[in-house]
Amino acid sequence: MKMVIHSRLCTQLPVYHGIFMKHKKKSFSMFRGVYVQFRNFHSFKQKIQINGEALYPRWFSVAPMMGWTDNHYRTLARLMSKHAWLYTEMVVAETIVHQKDDLDRFLAFSVEQHPVVLQIGGSNLKNLAKAAELANFYSFDEINLNCGCPSDKVAGHGCFGASLMFNPKLVGDAMSTIAANSDIPVSVKCRIGVDYRDSYNELCDFISEVSSRSPTKHFIIHARKALLNGLSPAANRKVPPLKYEYYFALLRDFPELQFTLNGGITSIEQVKRLMQH
Ligand SMILES: Cc1cc2nc3c(=O)[nH]c(=O)nc-3n(C[C@H](O)[C@H](O)[C@H](O)COP(=O)(O)O)c2cc1C
């Protein structure tokens, strides 16, 4: 797998779309679901080669958001920015496997949308292998495994989302399986910890185990821990405190890996301040 990495500090700034959410009568600020990268080996406009394709470096991405970052949304987002990397909504591996005759509905996107990252959910190795193989036909630019979702609906049913952080070996094997069944780079989105397992050392153990068991070189760090004690997904995006210091420590301690920062970033000014860190 070829993956050219030019920056290590990324912010996933979930973009709230006030204008697009009016029909749902919710208020969504422009800054939600975005990842940004800050390392300046390349100018913002200079394209990089990834798997033979010339793409803008991953300075800034729109994070995966269920119910939002669907095909239509991403088309709109691409009209707003040529540069942003766009994540799909999470698609469960079992959905891909069971809907294999209707996959366009879940995976198709237009060529103008590149770069697009497919986020998948699950931990059943057989299903992840098949899902990665099927998704391979759609020419995504990366496959990302969700290890950050705290929802009861998924986290409560076996290993899925944030609960996967309790089992780094399984995540390593899952990533190895996904990579073996696709031609594109793979990445993991995780929290800085889960429940009582929230020390920096435990986060390092997770990163070490996953990156040594698989070709995973890119981790998106949602800089809050997940609480699987019944706290709602929305509260899990606000209540656990942000610990950007974990993220910066990872940059220091794993110079060979790429890390994207996500969580609580609400303005370009904040991004600029973080770039000076
Ligand atoms: C409506 C909504 C849906 C989301 N769906 C997903 C998802 O499918 N996969 C995922 O990894 N994160 C999902 N997230 C989490 C965001 O990607 C992001 O990690 C989170 O909002 C934290 O960033 P913030 O503090 O800037 O909001 C979702 C967030 C929102 C608001």
pLDDT in tens, 57-102: 788 899 999 999 999 999 999 999 988 999 999 999 999 999 989 9
Per-residue confidence at 158, pLDDT binned at 50, 70, 90?
low
Instruction: Enter the pTM of the model.
Output: 0.86
For residue 185 and ligand 1, the question of a CB distance below 6 A is answered with no
**What are the φ and ψ backbone dihedral angles of 52, each rounded to 5 degrees?**
80, 0
The pLDDT value given to residue 230: 86
Please determine, for residue 28, whether its predicted confidence score (pLDDT) is greater than 50.
Answer: no
The pLDDT value given to residue 2: 23
Please state, rounded to an integer, the average pLDDT across all residues of the chain.
84
pLDDT in tens, 262-271: 999 888 899 8
Give distance in angstroms: CA of 52 to centre of ligand 1: 30
pLDDT in tens, 159-195: 789 999 999 999 999 999 999 999 999 999 999 999 9
Domains, the chain, in order of start with CATH, read 9-275 (3.20.20.70)
What would the DSSP string read from start to end of 212-264? Answer: HHSS--EEEEESS-B--SS--TTGGGTSSPP-HHHHHHHHHH-TTSEEEEESS
Per-residue confidence at 45, pLDDT binned at 50, 70, 90?
low
**Short-list 137, 44, 146, CA closest to 85:** 44
Contact 56, 83 (CB under 8 A): yes
Please determine, for residue 43, whether its predicted confidence score (pLDDT) is greater than 60.
Answer: no
For residue 119 and ligand 1, the question of a CB distance below 6 A is answered with yes
Which residues belong to the active site? 149
> Which atom of ligand 1 is nearest the CA belonging to 68?
1
The pLDDT value given to residue 27: 40
- C-alpha span between 110 and 128 (Å, rounded): 24
> Which atom of ligand 1 is nearest the CA belonging to 144?
11
pLDDT in tens, 107-134: 999 999 999 999 999 999 999 999 999 9
Instruction: Taking residues 242-253, report their average pLDDT.
Output: 96
Q: What is the DSSP letter of 24?
A: G
Going by alpha carbons, the residue nearest to atom 6 of ligand 1 is 65
For residue 237 and ligand 1, the question of a CB distance below 6 A is answered with yes
The pLDDT value given to residue 17: 32
Q: Is 12 annotated as a binding residue?
A: no
Percent of the chain with pLDDT over 90: 69
